[in-house]
Structure 1
Amino acid sequence: MTKVFLRVATYNIRKALGNDRRRDPERTMRVIEALDADIVVLQEADMRLGLRPPSLPPALFDGRGFRPVVFAHGRDSLGWHGNAILIRNSIEVLSTAHIDLPGLEPRGAVMVDLHFEGRDIGVIGTHLGLIRASRRRQLAALRAFAGHSQISARLVAGDFNEWSGLSHLAGLGPDFRVLPSPPTFHARKPVAALDRIALTDDFTLHDIRAVLTPEARRASDHLPLVADLTLKGAS
């Protein structure tokens, strides 16, 4: 059986506002491009006002080899509640969905089913709330949301906003294992593993790392988190 190699990243881009207080979408795109990932899950990808326009203008994607997944929400934004998913141009989109998540703050999630190298993969991107009670409810909602997909191989990625470790993320349910991750926040001096990737057992993890390049340290208050995966059972 030939194994499929997949690189997935999650990155809170802080609306392209860097630690130097400069809003620089082109810099953010350079950081994303350098990840060389097949799938990139973004948080804070849209502005908060009006129709929530994207913080990464559509023209920036021209000629880069990847594109944002389009969600049917009637806004100009890349995703939903700032959550967006970028994929290589060669990957086929099978279906999309988005939901609001419960809690005191406006939060949400996006889901896309993809066809990649002969296999189907389900991806959910999210940004959980700052209040732990809200995060518990949001994890339960994400578990139910993931259950709507008929695809076995699924992953959830995003800014989970949990400072206290994996035990507080158990609400995602038995179908997902949340990967131990290096700290990604604050980008200047990372001390907290706020950004996470969770997988079904269809995947094998080969490597997971925070991106510590000088430009990544400047481009946002979060570092990108990258995981190299094998998809089991690929022919």
Structure 2
Amino acid sequence: MHLKFASYNIHKAVGLDRRRDPERILAVLKEIDADVVALQEVDRRYGRRMAVLPLDAIQAATDYVPVPLSMKPDSLGWHGNAILVRKGIDVVEAAPVPLPVLEPRGAVRADLAVEGRRLRVVGMHLDLSGIRRRHQVRSVLSHCAGCADRMPTVMMGDLNEWARTGGALREFDAGWQVLAPGRSFPSRRPMALLDRIIVSAEWAVAGTHVHHSGLSAIGSDHLPVVASLSLPKI
């Protein structure tokens, strides 16, 4: 089974031209053509936390269905984190992942069924503080370890980790592959590998890359990161 995963901090759909342009973000998602996408900063931060990507626009312009995670009626996700899955992928279970925070950060989990296989996806946006990032990674790992079923897992998001191999990345033991698709921030002239994809040992990695196009270069302050993964036959 071959699947493409992507993570994209959309900066509330505000591009480098200072325009809020949800249609541009949706066009970038169509360019990427991933099967599962983790989005960060998908809701406005204050007030009703309204989604910056309207649900009807997602359904009309893409082949994606949002995983039902919203804790507020006008939001798409949880603390700005959302997961989109290609139509035809079944959502078995979904839940927010509690994180120790001082500022609004969060993580979300979705257990999916694809071609009869179960898999788990976690999307996350971690803290600017190195100490809190490490605590947050531990919370995500503890949450997954506490789930009733074990299954192949993909974690992805804006980790806010500037270190290439250290910092919060040390919390992932030998059972995890920490993938660094490339420099993704800032989008105009990428310098840092802030956006990562972490996969459990069951996955074979066919390739990773940063999606750099004319639209993605100005659509957000981050570029999307992508991983092509496969699972062996049972």
Same fold at TM > 0.5: yes
Matches within 5 A, 1:146-225: 146-149=144-147, 150-168=149-167, 169-225=169-225
Residue 177 of structure 1 deviates from its aligned partner by 1.9
Cα distance change of structure 1 residues 11 and 72 upon mapping to structure 2, 3 Å threshold? closer
Residue 73 of structure 1 deviates from its aligned partner by 1.9
What whole-Å deviation, never above 9, does each CA across 1:94-142 have from its counterpart, x for those lacking one?
0011033113222111000000122111000000000101101101101
Matches within 5 A, 1:44-193: 44-63=41-60, 64-71=62-69, 73-149=71-147, 150-168=149-167, 169-193=169-193
TM-score by length of 2: 0.95
SS of the equivalent of 1:214 reads coil
- Partner Cα distance (2:68, 2:155) in 1: 18
Runs of 4+ in 1 over 6 A off after TM superposition: none
SS of the equivalent of 1:124 reads strand
Q: Would the aligned equivalents of 2:179 and 2:196 in 1 still touch at CA under 8 Å?
A: yes
- Partner Cα distance (1:111, 1:99) in 2: 7
What whole-Å deviation, never above 9, does each CA across 1:48-69 have from its counterpart, x for those lacking one?
1122110101111223211110
Residue 175 of structure 1 deviates from its aligned partner by 3.2
What whole-Å deviation, never above 9, does each CA across 1:162-207 have from its counterpart, x for those lacking one?
0111222121344322113300001000110000000001101111
- Partner Cα distance (1:233, 1:147) in 2: 24
The answer to which of 170-179 and 55-64 deviates more is 170-179
- Partner Cα distance (2:202, 2:170) in 1: 19
The answer to which of 124-133 and 68-77 deviates more is 68-77
Q: Would the aligned equivalents of 1:157 and 1:196 in 2 still touch at CA under 8 Å?
A: yes
Percent identical pairs in the alignment equals 41
Cα distance change of structure 1 residues 42 and 72 upon mapping to structure 2, 3 Å threshold? closer
TM-score by length of 1: 0.94
Unaligned segments of structure 1, at least 5 residues: none
Which amino acid counterpart does residue 211 of structure 1 have in structure 2? H
- Partner Cα distance (2:177, 2:73) in 1: 33
- Partner Cα distance (2:79, 2:13) in 1: 15
Aligned positions, number? 231
Q: Would the aligned equivalents of 2:35 and 2:86 in 1 still touch at CA under 8 Å?
A: yes
- Partner Cα distance (1:180, 1:15) in 2: 24
Q: Would the aligned equivalents of 2:159 and 2:194 in 1 still touch at CA under 8 Å?
A: yes
SS of the equivalent of 1:155 reads strand
Backbone CA RMSD of aligned residues: 1.3
Q: Would the aligned equivalents of 1:166 and 1:180 in 2 still touch at CA under 8 Å?
A: no
- Partner Cα distance (1:113, 1:164) in 2: 30
Unaligned segments of structure 2, at least 5 residues: none
- Partner Cα distance (1:104, 1:49) in 2: 15
Residue 72 of structure 1 deviates from its aligned partner by 5.2
